[in-house]
Amino acid sequence: MIGRACLVLLATLLLVAMAVAAKAADPRIERGKYLVQFGGCNDCHTPGYFMGKPDMARYLGGSDVGFAIPGLGVFVGPNLTPDKATGLGEWTAAQIVTAITTGARPDGRILAPIMPWRAFSHLTHADAMDIVLFLKSVPPVAHKVSGPFSPSQKPDVFVMTLLPADVYAGLPRPR
């Protein structure tokens, strides 16, 4: 009886290892990973990235820095992992493709202007789907990002501000 239980356990472990290896070797997931890295998604969606110390344990788990856009507010890169409560776990593949390529979220909101969806609108459907496959394959990270913040709200994150040239030119200079 014990020998049979060990055999069943060994067979189960072997099947799990084979499934993990097959998932890691999936060329579409690898292509999606390449596109996500090339597209710089980790820059805006990985905590610590803008501070020079990306937290790779929370890769794509949502930023801790927001972008301030005059007149619009502050936008923080959301969690792109498949976490169901705080990430894209409840989004369908079609919803993710639509957001990436048209800027439209499932709830009807348009993505923040800092999100380069206009550039990503030129992705082939296959490339957009490969990105989805990769995003669905990363470990889920439970991390609800702050925001977005309207211009009248006080953000609770570090903020990078985009300023018009004339405003920037009028800032005090170090001596």
Half-sphere exposure of 145 (CA within 13 A, CB side): 31
Looking at residues 50-75, what average pLDDT do you find?
94
Beta carbons within 8 Å of 75's beta carbon, 6+ residues apart:
66, 67, 69, 112, 113, 114, 147, 148, 149
Looking at residues 47-75, what average pLDDT do you find?
94
Structure tokens at 17: 């290892």
Q: How many angstroms separate the CA atoms of 86 and 62, rounded?
A: 9
- At 82 the pLDDT is 98
Looking at residues 35-64, what average pLDDT do you find?
95
- At 5 the pLDDT is 56
pLDDT at 59 over 90: yes
- Nearest partner of 140 among 47, 39, 75, 60, judged by Cα: 60
Domain borders along the chain are 27-169
Structure tokens at 71: 């007149």
Q: pTM score, two decimals?
A: 0.79
N- to C-terminal Cα distance for the chain? 81
Beta carbons within 8 Å of 111's beta carbon, 6+ residues apart:
99, 103, 104, 105, 117
Looking at residues 91-100, what average pLDDT do you find?
98
- Nearest partner of 50 among 40, 36, 35, 39, judged by Cα: 40
Looking at residues 124-153, what average pLDDT do you find?
97
Question: Is 159 buried (19+), middle (13-18) or exposed (0-12) by CB count in 10 A?
Answer: middle
- Nearest partner of 158 among 36, 37, 49, judged by Cα: 49
Looking at residues 153-170, what average pLDDT do you find?
90
If you average pLDDT over every residue of the chain, what do you get?
89
pLDDT at 69 over 70: yes
Q: Are 103 and 110 in contact (CB under 8 A)?
A: yes
